[in-house]
């Protein structure tokens, strides 16, 4: 995958074309390291209810979508299923990890990236939506704080952008889910998980790729 050294113009209005672009989409200066992890999933998903004051997991079940075993989400920040370093959490610099994807389904016009905590009833840590559709792409470390990222939603801490793992006790899992959509959500402002879930009902989910890490406060 070629690595871009400058921010790519998003051109979201032109993202809803009939097919998936074959050119990789890179945002900002990404790491030159080869991704160490990958995890794939078919397009099925679940929506789970969260406790009062939090949002349910944003992973709806698609209707009639074909499974893709090649759609993968990767990171160089931590091994798949392994420990997330403190620099990406509330105990460190609280940077968003790098992510890269490949093998997106044909017809993908936009992506939705959600990071939640399934051990806290789907507590949402990051929402990034209307990323341009392409068969592959990357987001570098710390991209959530860039002045020109794709639109970001309001997490369950009540802030916009990435808020890293900060479990009150014990070890928690953190699930990165990239959903391939047939059209952008087209939301304005910084929507919360509930608003994103409602918008998902108006588009078709073509597939998902997932990645999971763990964190325990020392």
State the CATH number of the domain containing residue 94. Answer: 3.90.280.10
The per-residue pLDDT for 149 is 83
CB-based contact 39:211 (threshold 8 Å): yes
Position 182 in a domain: yes
CB-based contact 144:152 (threshold 8 Å): yes
Whether the pLDDT of residue 4 is over 90: the answer is no
Position 29 in a domain: no
Whether the pLDDT of residue 197 is over 70: the answer is yes
The per-residue pLDDT for 110 is 98
Can you give the length of the chain in residues? 218
Position 195 in a domain: yes
- The domain of 88 spans 69-216
For residue range 34-91, list pLDDT tens digits in order.
222 233 333 333 233 333 334 445 654 444 444 456 999 999 999 999 999 999 999 9
Position 4 in a domain: no
Distances (CA, A) of 96 to 117, 182, 203: 15, 26, 27
The per-residue pLDDT for 166 is 97
- Half-sphere exposure at residue 217, Cβ-oriented, CA atoms within 13 angstroms: 11
Position 116 in a domain: yes
Give me the number of domains the chain comprises. Answer: 1
6 pLDDT band (50/70/90 cuts)? very low
Q: What phi and psi, each to the nearest 5 degrees, are found at residue 140?
A: -80, 170
Position 19 in a domain: no
Q: Give me the chain's average pLDDT, please.
A: 77
Q: Which residue has the tokens 């097919």?
A: 19
Position 57 in a domain: no
For residue range 123-165, list pLDDT tens digits in order.
999 999 999 999 999 999 999 999 888 999 999 999 999 999 9
Position 54 in a domain: no
SS3 call for 8: coil
The per-residue pLDDT for 88 is 98
176 pLDDT band (50/70/90 cuts)? very high
Q: Retrieve residue 205's tokens.
A: 């989910």
Whether the pLDDT of residue 188 is over 80: the answer is yes
The per-residue pLDDT for 73 is 97
- Supply the pTM of this predicted model: 0.74
Compute the distance between CA of residue 44 and CA of residue 15 in angstroms, rounded to an integer.
24
The per-residue pLDDT for 52 is 32
The per-residue pLDDT for 148 is 85
| Least-confidence region, from 2-11, 22-31, 189-198 | 2-11
């Amino acid at each position: 995958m070629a690595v871009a050294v400058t921010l790519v113009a998003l051109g979201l209005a032109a993202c809803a074309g009939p097919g998936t672009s074959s050119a990789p989409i890179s945002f900002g200066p990404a790491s030159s390291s080869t991704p160490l992890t990958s995890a794939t999933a078919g397009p099925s998903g679940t929506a789970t209810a969260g406790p009062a004051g939090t949002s349910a997991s944003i992973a709806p079940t698609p209707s009639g979508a074909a499974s893709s075993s090649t759609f993968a989400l990767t990171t160089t920040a931590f091994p798949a299923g392994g420990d997330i370093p403190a620099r990406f959490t509330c105990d460190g610099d609280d940077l968003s990890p790098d992510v890269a994807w490949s093998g997106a389904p044909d017809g993908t016009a936009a992506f939705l990236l959600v990071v939640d905590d399934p051990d806290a009833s789907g507590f949402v840590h990051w929402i990034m939506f209307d990323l341009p559709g392409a068969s592959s792409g990357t987001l570098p470390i710390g991209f959530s704080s860039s002045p020109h990222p794709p639109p970001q939603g309001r997490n369950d801490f009540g802030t916009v952008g990435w808020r890293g793992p900060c479990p009150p006790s014990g070890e928690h899992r953190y699930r990165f889910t990239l959903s391939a959509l047939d059209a952008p959500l087209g939301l304005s402002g910084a929507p919360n998980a509930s608003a994103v879930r409602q918008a998902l009902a108006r588009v078709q989910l073509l597939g998902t790729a997932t990645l999971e890490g763990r964190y325990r406060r020392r």
